[in-house]
Amino acid sequence: DPCYNYTELDDTWRSINNTDASVRNCDTSVSWSGWYRLFINNTSAHIPDTCVAQSSCGTNIALWIRGGHPTVTDGVVTRDVCGNDGSYCCYYGSFPIKVKACPGNFYVYELVRPAGYYYCSGYCADTGSINTSPTIVTPVAISPGNVTHC
């Protein structure tokens, strides 16, 4: 289970709050293997699931996931990774990674080499909260008096 067998990725430069343009980090040269859990300064983090500004997260093309995060009951899901070119939030990508919500309110990711190795891109990390609990759906009762019989 990747929730109990992952590599910690604790690079402060991945923070969505990092807008320092003087240093650019690229995940395109990393040999990714297995599942990863993100941290920023020892605080659990996740890949953002909304558009991230270009040139943030310590890289040129800041990568985020499209399609939202799963709940614990969803198990492993596949999500597309996108990168913003400044005019279109998913201009770069879209390539799939696997994501799993784990008990304890954190996520693990099966990261891969970002598509488009010819530009510098990196996975972003955000320490804001995301709810990993399943959404409760309340059923609506239909009373027999509302049914038309033919």
C-alpha to C-alpha distance for 27 and 23, rounded to whole angstroms: 13
| Residue-wise pLDDT tens digits, 25-56 | 999 889 999 999 999 999 999 999 999 988 89
| Span 125-141, average pLDDT | 57
C-alpha to C-alpha distance for 68 and 112, rounded to whole angstroms: 18
| Residue-wise pLDDT tens digits, 61-110 | 999 999 999 999 999 999 999 998 888 899 887 789 999 999 999 999 99
Residue 24 falls in which region: left (phi positive, over 0), alpha (psi -120 to 50) or beta:
beta
